Amino acid sequence: MKTDDVRCNLNEDYCGVEPITHPPELSETRPPPPIDEDKLRKAYNQVDSALIGSILAILFLLLVMAVLLVGRYLHRHKGEYVTQEDAGAEMAPDPDTAVVQGTTGHHVEPKKEWFI
């Protein structure tokens, strides 16, 4: 028997269980109540929300500006490095001559930097 000669009808079997069909939704029979526009505007006042939004935007901008100013201040004032040259060597033309002309001698001490 050839497969071209055999025609089979396939039917879906639910094994004794029928598919569930939901009833159609009922449409609403009465119209919604009328809306009073004045009461609605009073309940949702647009001016208050705009005022609060603008105040928050201004506060946010002030906060950003304060952070930038503090960052700039800290960047510019990192600290100063103060050298302590030998006494009497202020007018020396080069560092070697300053050591030779210094009255206190060659004195090296580690410098401390303070970060606040």
Q: How far, CA to CA in Å, does 12 sit from each of 18, 20, 55, 82, 96?
A: 11, 15, 67, 95, 106
pLDDT at 63: 98
The pLDDT > 70 percentage for the chain reads 65
Range 93-101 average pLDDT: 74
Structural domains in the chain (count): 1
What is the chain's mean pLDDT, rounded? 77
Range of the domain at 53: 43-78
Inside any domain, residue 66: yes
H or E element in which residue 95 lies: helix 95-101
Q: At a CB cut-off of 8 Å and minimum separation 6, what does 87 contact?
A: 102, 103, 104
Report yes or no on 88 lying in a domain.
no
Q: Residue 59: inside a domain, yes or no?
A: yes
